[in-house]
Amino acid sequence: MATINSFEDLKVWQAARALNSRLYDILNEEDDKHSGFLINHIFKTGGSVMDNIAEGFERDGSREFKQFLSFSKGSIGELRSQLYRALDRGILSEFEFDELHSACQSLGRQCGSFMNYLKTTDIKGNKFTEPFEDY
Task: Note whether residue 91 is domain-resident.
Answer: yes
Q: How many other C-beta atoms are found inside a 10 Å radius of the C-beta of residue 21?
A: 12
- CATH number of the domain enclosing 99: 1.20.1440.60
Task: Note whether residue 131 is domain-resident.
Answer: no
- Rounded to the nearest integer, the mean pLDDT of the chain is 88
What is the rounded CA–CA span in Å between residue 23 and residue 2?
29
Task: Note whether residue 130 is domain-resident.
Answer: no
Is 53 exposed, middle or buried (CB count within 10 Å of its CB: 0-12, 13-18, 19+)?
Answer: buried
pLDDT for the residue numbered 121:
78
Task: Note whether residue 20 is domain-resident.
Answer: yes
Measured over the CA atoms of residue 20, residue 26, residue 31 and residue 34, the dihedral's sign is negative
Predicted confidence band of residue 129 (pLDDT cuts 50, 70, 90): very low
Contact of 87 with 97, CB cutoff 8 Å? yes
- Its domain, for residue 104, covers 8-122
Predicted confidence band of residue 122 (pLDDT cuts 50, 70, 90): confident
What is the rounded CA–CA span in Å between residue 42 and residue 37?
9
Per residue in 89-101, pLDDT (tens digit) is 999 999 999 999 9
Tally of domains within the chain: 1
Per residue in 28-71, pLDDT (tens digit) is 755 655 678 899 999 999 999 999 999 999 987 888 999 999 99
Share of the chain above pLDDT 90, in %: 69
